A = this chain, B = another copy of it.
Amino acid sequence: MHSKVAALDLGQDAVTLTAHLVDVPSESRQEKALADLVEQALRGVPHLRVDRDGDAVVARTALGRAERVVLAGHLDTVPVADNLPSRLDEDGLLWGCGTSDMKAGVAVQLKLAAGLAEPNRDVTYVFYDAEEIASEFNGLKRLAERHPDWLAGDFAVLMEPTGGRVDGGCQGTLRVEVRTTGRRAHSARSWLGENAIHKAAPILDRLAAYEPRRVEIDGLVYPEGLNAVLINGGHATNVIPDFCTVTVNYRFSPDQSERQALDRVRDLFDGFDVLVTDSAPGALPGLSHPAAAAFVAAIGTAPAAKEAWTDVARFAALGIPAVNYGPGDPTLAHTREEHVVAASILEAETRLRTWLTA
């Protein structure tokens, strides 16, 4: 142990445990102290096998059950915004960086890991690093590449904050730059130049006229979106511009592969340079799997389509259907006013315990 902070007591209630986790700062790529505490606490639990890679920790039961489910959560937070240490107010709100996104979920994972010696399904608990920053650093991505066997399972729950709702699957996301070029000239002699901004007019026309798809899968509706998010062109107020770049973000339904999504975008912008800058696949909700159906029944609320891209897509890429479910309000994530309703942490723990023991 390099950390000077107190060891985690997994016998505490989930709210107190959440506060303890929050009070160990763990901005992305600085998760070591917290990962050490998690590893140490889980190594003390006799019914778990514990593995570690970098600052990711994976603990598993090995009971030979017919199904294995995965509960996953990230240890890192966005940068602290002068909102530590944590504070539990008289209205039962726990305040502080990472309360909602997603140390409340991590606390629930830890409580279940320590408390369920004989769950009805084998369970894999995954705690990983660097979810809040560029994908190249993502701990779940690294585990999928180095130790796919640690992540094996029939169904996964990513415990990101969803306000206690089950969010199924996720959209894919594709970003491209659609570009025009021209020729610079002084704007007093514009006929010597070629205006790249004027040449971008059809790009915006096609975007404005585009009718986005709405796709239904497993009873969930995934509405797509195809939008310019940035536009930039020109050098100075007296120069005919020789470039214009429109950055387009396509959020596509998980019925399409990344390739199909790109083909659709290339078709739309036929005649223009299209450069891919970012692409991530969507994830099917997989709610028809028995373990998923039992999960939805245990949670007891109607599932919805997840609109944002999340790490469930990494499980989908491994062939594991996955959903998002966790305490905490997703709209408070990354805000200075981040907090979580203490009772919602206990409720999530109870519902998951029901699913894994009933």
Contacts and interface: CB of A to CB of B under 8 A. Distances in A.
Contact of A237 (B175, B186, B195, B208): B175
Contacts of A208: 195, 198-199, 201
A305 to B, nearest CB: 11
Interface residues of A, number: 47
Given A171-B188, A190-B227, A228-B241, A234 B247 contact: yes
Contacts of A117: none
A346 interface: no
A347 to B, nearest CB: 26
A173, A190, A191: residue with the most chain B Cβ atoms closer than 10 Å: A190
Contacts of A236: 229-230
Contact of A231 (B205, B232, B249, B307): B232
Nearest to A197: B228
Q: How many copies does the complex hold?
A: 2
B231 A237 contact: no
A63 interface: no
A239 interface: yes
A277 B238 CA distance: 13
A341 interface: no
A310 to B, nearest CB: 10
A229 B238 contact: yes
Nearest to A233: B231
Given A231-B234, A231-B244, A225 B188 contact: yes
A79 interface: no
A228 B234 contact: yes
A199 B187 CA distance: 25
A308 interface: yes
Interface in A235-281: 235-241, 244, 246-247, 249, 251, 277-278
A238 B249 contact: yes
A241 B241 CA distance: 22
A119 interface: no
A204 interface: yes
Given A205-B205, A309-B188, A241 B225 contact: no
B187 A198 contact: no
A228 B195 contact: yes
A240 B249 CA distance: 9
A200 B249 CA distance: 17
A240 B227 contact: yes
Interface string A195-226: 10111110011011000100000000001010
Interface string A57-99: 0000000000000000000000000000000000000000000
Given A230-B241, A234-B247, 4 more contacts: A173-B188, A186-B307, A229-B236, A237-B249
18 contacts: A187-B229, A187-B251, A189-B307, A191-B212, A195-B208, A195-B227, A197-B227, A198-B228, A199-B208, A201-B204, A201-B205, A201-B207, A201-B208, A204-B204, A231-B234, A231-B241, A231-B244, A232-B232
User: Closest 5 A-B residue pairs measured CB to CB?
Assistant: A190-B225, A201-B204, A230-B234, A197-B228, A198-B208
